[in-house]
Chains A and B, each alone.
Chain A
Amino acid sequence: MERVSRRDFFRLSGIAGAMGLVHWIRPASSPLGIVSLAHASGSQLTFAYVSDSHLLVRKGYDKEHRFTRALKKAVTDVNSMSPQPEFVLFGGDLAQLGLKEELDLGKGILSELKPKLYMMVGEHDWYHDMGEAWKGLFGEDRYSFDRKGIHFVVLNSVIVEDYWTGSKMTPMERMLFMAQLDNPRGNPFTVGPEGREWLKSDLAKVSKDTPVVVFSHSPLYKYYKRWNFWTDDAAEVQALLSPFANVTVIHGHTHQALVNRIGSITFYGMLSTAWPWPYAPEGLPELTRQMDRADPFNQFDGCGWGEAAFSQQGEADKVYNLWDREPMAVFYKDVKAGAIPGQPDRLHSGSSY
């Protein structure tokens, strides 16, 4: 296996050594994580998220799968946050194939979390049995709650028009079909008319200057249709949200750092604990500071969990806690100003580059 020696890189760029490289992605005032953000923005509330764990349970195989190990690592990391977050959101795709044993395993691991846990469903949790096991374990797939003057909404945004009844798919066939990344014959994700009705009536009770946070598995905008990085009724959903002064959408599914802003809505993608996706060939929101390509030997590279800190006005700063890399912070003020991020200093992933 051939590797480029970093000596080559340094020699060509004329740098004698790596000492003192300042990582531009780090907030200037302090090195790490949410503590700095909380103080910097005088935050009203901070929460943590863990997402897209895609747990697999192999029968007759009692060794822990690496996805299990990764989810446990995220739980340990969240539990060691200081100070502890207000709550933890699970961003969807707890299971890989929507099987009861996968969901049970996930519930057990997440039960170790110290802060209060809110669950959101992803397509991998849903399409084996259309959400029956999920609802039994975790309750309704859409709901809302209020904390410290911020209104939080959890959506089911992976509703897909029925293509399986007509073609007489079995539950597992349906699930495997939904599990593909490339989905040229499938139907795109939607919140759906029922979901939008529910959202409309939920938001009717909320004053327009209340900060609103929407948790959604799919992006709630249109990024790349072939991979279902896409919500087909995004415009209608955004129309329901746009009357509000400050809206933040936190979404999963894309397994990568993503930042977008449409009108007064800020969109932050969540990391996966299991694997990173590459960036799609088109449709990438230009406010996104891209993650560098992952090291294939390192199961944690490009993966992780995250945090968000909200000001009283609902302005959200975000930290991507990439394992084996420096944390990546994204500040609301930069997103609002439309600041296009430059290239990262570090061209290589992995520790100590």
Chain B
Amino acid sequence: MRCSRFIIVMCAVLAVSSPRLQTSETGNAEPFALDIPPEILPPIIPDDNPMTAEKVSLGRKLYFDKRLSADNTVSCATCHDPRLGFADGKAVAEGIGGQKGARNSPTTLNAGFYDFQFWDGRSVTLEDQAKQPLINPVEMGMPSHDAVVEKVKGSEDYPDLFEKAFGTREITIDHIAMAIAAFERTLITLDSPFDRFIAGDNNAISESAKRGWDLFNGKGRCNTCHGYVESYPFFTDNKFHNVGVGAKNRQFDELARRAEHESDVAKVSHETGASELGRFLVTKGRPDIGAFKTSGLRDIALTAPYMHDGSEPTLESVIEFYNRGGETNPFLDGGIRPLELTDEEVGDLVGFLNTLTGSHIDRLKEEFAGDME
């Protein structure tokens, strides 16, 4: 582990010394610095999309703009709503015409710090992620990216803003995505009661929450996947694990075995319930059958219900799920086992998770209240 400290230090050095605030492609736009404590690894920002104030404000406008959907009723903020922890409080997302998807909407908060976006991790950048709901028929339902661009071009307000942000009035889908991503990168919450406790304030969290933190790193085995590192305090290992959520549906086992043996994945991907195969549909790797991304835990109290299909209504039910040893299936992750937590211990873990909410959430809600109109 000595090696890891070296890597972390090297990254910090590289991050500080790298020209992150350059203004390529943005003419004389103002550089924009993210407000991150120095001991925390900054998010990876693509070289071709450095942060500027103009991009952030353009991205904010786009994020809340319902005109980006086919019937002008759904924006990014519909499913990633500042008033609901930047999620939507629903089990699965509902797009245009009330159509339901298969996935629980993840929070935009701190998403810039993750290695992957979507529950199956098919996007590596926020830019790539932003493009997909636009043309998903059950989400924003636009027929194509070109159609999105045409709509944005057609509005009076955007061309000026794009010129300020990207130095050109020629609007492209990439620029739309880059602006949205730049805005999303500013949605950071790092000042929860737990953070203050770690920094040395023993009164920041309750005794129950402190016991919960010990359980988190001990009997609960949570840190196996939701590990906490001071320089990367997001409670995710950025890996994918089968904990059995999809196996609650009894047809999963049979479909999973077929996926294991089928050399042509396309055949399996169109079966009913195939989306429960998760990461496997992206990598075609056997260890990924039924595996989904380890979600981060910051602000988790705000984003019920839980799991990739929203099947767990409360934090307590999530912990009870893990306490049972998840749901048995042939590809259950080897780290999952029954935990034998008592009711009190479950309560302590919930108490701990409730301390991960950023202290300025209310301020964020207020700030974006106007955008939600």
Contacts and interface: CB of A to CB of B under 8 A. Distances in A.
Contact of B261 (A3, A18, A35, A326): A35
Interface residues of B, number: 49
A73 B330 contact: yes
Interface string B109-123: 000000110000110
Contacts of B143: none
Contacts of A269: none
B174 to A, nearest CB: 16
Interface stretch (B23-31, B93-101, B235-243, B307-315): B235-243
A82 interface: yes
Contact of B239 (A32, A73, A352): A352
Given A3-B229, A17-B115, A326 B334 contact: no
A76 interface: yes
Interface string A226-240: 000000000000000
Contacts of B240: 351-352
Contacts of A180: none
A12 B227 contact: no
A350 interface: yes
Contacts of A3: 4, 227, 229, 237
Contact of B263 (A5, A8, A31): A31
Nearest to A5: B232
B286 A66 contact: no
A323 interface: yes
A297 B261 contact: no
Given A5-B232, A8-B11, A73-B330, A326 B217 contact: no
A19 interface: yes
B365 interface: no
Contacts of B279: 351-352
B125 A12 contact: no
Contact of A323 (B10, B122, B334): B334
A351 B242 contact: yes
Nearest to A69: B337
Contacts of A4: 1, 3-4, 7-8
A32 B286 contact: yes
Contacts of A352: 121, 239-241, 279, 283, 285, 287-288, 291
B221 A297 contact: yes
A5 B241 contact: no
Contacts of B1: 2, 4
A298 B221 CA distance: 11
B286 A6 contact: no
A12 B7 contact: yes
Nearest to B284: A31
B333 A12 contact: no
B224 interface: yes
Interface string A12-32: 100011110001000000111
Interface string A73-113: 10011001010000000000000000000000000000000
Contacts of B221: 297
B115 A6 contact: yes
Contact of A36 (B11, B263, B283): B263
A324 interface: yes
Nearest to A1: B223
Interface in B225-263: 227, 229, 231-232, 237-242, 257, 260-261, 263
B41 interface: yes
A6 B288 contact: no
A6 B115 CA distance: 8
A326 B257 CA distance: 15
Contacts of A32: 260-261, 263, 286
Interface in A297-348: 297-301, 303, 323-327
A298 B237 CA distance: 14
Given A2-B4, A17-B124, A7 B44 contact: yes
Given A351-B241, A352-B287, A66 B337 contact: yes
A1 B235 CA distance: 12
A35 to B, nearest CB: 6
B273 interface: no
Contacts of A33: 260-261
B239 A351 contact: yes
B131 to A, nearest CB: 15
- Greatest chain B CB density within 10 A among A4, A5, A36, A303 is at A5
Nearest to B240: A352
Interface string B325-364: 0000010011101000000000000000000000000000
A297 B224 contact: yes
B14 interface: yes
Interface string B1-26: 10110011011001000000000000
A29 to B, nearest CB: 9
A31 B287 CA distance: 12
A168 interface: no
A11 B238 contact: no
B284 to A, nearest CB: 6
Contacts of B333: 298, 324, 351
A181 B337 CA distance: 27
A8 B8 contact: yes
A324 B260 contact: no
A295 interface: yes
Contacts of B284: 31
Contacts of B41: 5, 7-8
Interface of A: 1-12, 16-19, 23, 30-33, 35-36, 66, 73, 76-77, 80, 82, 295, 297-301, 303, 323-327, 350-353
Given A80-B257, A301-B334, A353-B239, 17 more contacts: A2-B1, A3-B227, A3-B229, A4-B7, A5-B231, A6-B239, A17-B115, A17-B116, A32-B260, A32-B286, A295-B335, A298-B333, A351-B242, A351-B288, A352-B121, A352-B288, A352-B291
